[in-house]
């Protein structure tokens, strides 16, 4: 395989322990979930400008479109299974190599693969819960899926009358401060930050590799295409996340 030297180098750093993994939508494409920015990705089919928090709160029509978007998303995503890359990370945790998994993904495939839920920091939330924007009450997604299947309207919060929304971070919405702080803390403490399947283009999340690097960690990037942070990476490996992570796992001591 091309990249053999880089893979060995990465395996050696992972063996040293103290790794934080940082993942984006590209780690889940092998599980059948579209990323946002690749051709045929989610933003080829839906317009991101329509899905800001401000439009969501201001317009009943935007809310109906948003729920339609999640209805489609839930239908596709509930059948998705973790792939070789998610499984390799869970396996590395069992070997004691993983301090935390910081993910931009909302699909919970890391937990499904066996990563400990307390080690998975979901900086963009999860699609598998629905939250009230006013009182923070959390409900299971299935109740809302059923209503959408029956083409019923989504009502407001039963506790406070606030607007309900899938518990993901939309454009214009702040990242959960406690989760982001913990992710930043983990990045300042780690020996290696391994980024997998992220365009590293969405801020503030994409600042985390810089935080880790500035704190003295090694930075490794695994992605299908170049990223803007390849220039500061200690190793940048091009290719498919599943294949590469499987290979790296096999190279561990």
Contact residues for ligand NAD, defined by CB under 6 A = 24-26, 28-30, 33, 35-38, 41-42, 104-107, 124, 197-199, 201-202, 223-225, 240-241
Q: Closest-CB residue for ligand NAD?
A: 26
Q: How far is the CB of 198 from ligand NAD (least distance, A)?
A: 3
Q: How far is the CB of 159 from ligand NAD (least distance, A)?
A: 27
Cβ nearer to ligand NAD, comparing 42 with 251: 42
Joined tokens for residue 242:
């599943």
Q: Which of 71, 86, 124, 185 is catalytic?
A: 124
| Alpha-carbon span 123 to 140, nearest angstrom | 19
Cβ nearer to ligand NAD, comparing 34 with 186: 34
Where do we find the tokens 């399947």? 197
248 half-sphere exposure, CB direction, 13 A CA radius: 32
| Alpha-carbon span 131 to 37, nearest angstrom | 26
Cβ nearer to ligand NAD, comparing 72 with 134: 72
| Alpha-carbon span 93 to 208, nearest angstrom | 20
185 is catalytic: no
Helix residue spans in the chain (DSSP H): 4-15, 42-45, 53-58, 60-77, 84-94, 109-113, 141-149, 177-189, 208-214, 241-251
Q: How far is the CB of 114 from ligand NAD (least distance, A)?
A: 17
Q: How far is the CB of 151 from ligand NAD (least distance, A)?
A: 25
Cβ nearer to ligand NAD, comparing 25 with 217: 25
Catalytic residue annotation: 124
């Amino acid at each position: 395989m091309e990249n053999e030297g880089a893979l060995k180098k990465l395996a050696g750093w992972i063996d040293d322990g103290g790794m934080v993994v940082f993942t984006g939508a590209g780690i889940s494409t092998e599980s059948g979930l579209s990323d946002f920015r690749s051709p045929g990705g989610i933003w080829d089919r839906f317009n991101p400008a329509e899905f800001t928090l401000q439009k969501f709160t201001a317009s009943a029509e935007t809310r109906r479109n948003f729920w339609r978007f999640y209805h489609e998303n839930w239908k596709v995503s509930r059948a998705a299974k973790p792939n070789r890359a998610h499984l390799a990370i869970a396996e590395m945790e069992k070997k004691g190599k993983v301090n935390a998994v910081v993910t931009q993904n909302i699909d919970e495939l890391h937990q499904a693969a066996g990563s400990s839920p307390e080690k998975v920091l979901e900086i963009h939330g999860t699609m598998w819960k629905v939250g009230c924007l006013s009182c923070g009450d959390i409900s299971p997604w299935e109740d809302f899926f059923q209503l959408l299947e029956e083409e019923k309207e989504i009502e407001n919060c039963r506790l406070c009358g606030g607007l309900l929304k899938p518990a993901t971070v939309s454009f214009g919405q702040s990242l959960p401060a406690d989760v982001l702080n913990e992710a930043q803390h983990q990045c300042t403490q780690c020996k290696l930050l391994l980024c997998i399947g992220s365009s590293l283009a969405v801020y503030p999340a994409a600042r985390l590799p810089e935080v880790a690097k500035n704190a003295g960690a090694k930075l490794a990037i695994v992605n299908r295409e170049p990223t803007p942070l390849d220039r500061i990476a200690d190793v940048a490996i091009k290719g498919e996340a599943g294949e590469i992570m499987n290979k790296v796992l096999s190279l561990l001591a």
